Amino acid sequence: MCTGACSRFIAIPLYILALVSVICNIILFFPDFKTKYADTASDGVDMLTPEVKYMGGLIGGGIMVLIPAIHIHLTSANKCCANRCGMFLSIGFAAAGVLGAVYSLSVASLGLANGPVCLWKNEINPIPQWGAPFANSSGSYLDDKEMWKWCEEPVNVVQFNLGLFSTLLVAACVELVLCAIQMVNGLFGCICGTCAKAE
């Protein structure tokens, strides 16, 4: 496969993954698909999971991957960047995509480890309160579905966060791999040239 065709093969999935990351991050702002949780409670307690506000999917897996994807795609266009210089620049853009993917991956991992913020109670704390009941569990709550019942509001917030943060995690991993491959592809394109007629 020539380096230009490889760039196209890499760029198209990056577009899709960047879009998925942005959508997941936006949806995370609305647990139970309600806007009221994006605000603070009457006692000043934040009702939104802190990792959502880090915007790993929007900034890292979204914008920081989308911009490199555009340039990587342009390296497959004969009359634009399909030359040694374009391939050299694609290495830097792909490296920026790697950083974005790592940021998104880190935030998603942290979101899964700490769990959601919710109105919760259990046997030890019988009075419902807003907080992150699984923050000190090191992610052990993920294996114990009985613990998920501690969260009373938003409804099914554990499953909601688990699904979206897991999607962000997988998307970031694939973005990371694709951008790393493009760094190698860009190096080959820079040294050996592309498949375009004019170098």
Query: Is position 131 within any domain?
Result: yes
Query: Is position 73 within any domain?
Result: yes
Query: Is position 44 within any domain?
Result: yes
Task: Report d(CA 29, CA 68) in Å as an integer.
Answer: 26
Query: Is position 156 within any domain?
Result: yes
Q: How deeply is 44 buried, as exposed, middle or buried, from its count of CB atoms within 10 A (0-12, 13-18, 19+)?
A: exposed
CB 199 within 8 A of CB 83: yes
Q: What is the largest CA-CA distance in the chain?
A: 73
Query: Is position 27 within any domain?
Result: yes
pLDDT attached to residue 126: 82
CB 95 within 8 A of CB 179: yes
Write out pLDDT tens, residues 133-191.
Answer: 888 777 788 888 888 888 888 899 999 999 999 999 999 999 999 999 888 887 877 77
- Residue closest to 168 by CA, chosen among 76, 110, 119, 105: 105
CB 58 within 8 A of CB 25: yes
Write out pLDDT tens, residues 44-67.
Answer: 677 888 899 999 999 999 999 999
pTM of this structure: 0.86
**Sign of the CA dihedral with 47 first, then 51, 54, and 60 last:** negative
Query: Is position 199 within any domain?
Result: no
Query: Is position 119 within any domain?
Result: yes
First to last CA, the chain: 17
Query: Is position 65 within any domain?
Result: yes
Task: Report d(CA 159, CA 106) in Å as an integer.
Answer: 20
CB 11 within 8 A of CB 72: yes
Cα-based distances in Å from 55 to 29, 76, 135, 139: 10, 31, 19, 20
More confident position, 91 or 63 = 63
Domain that holds residue 15: 3-192
Q: Which H helix or E strand runs over 152? A: strand 151-153
Tokens found for residue 66: 């989308």
Beta partners for residue 153, in sequence order:
119
Total domains in the fold of the chain: 1
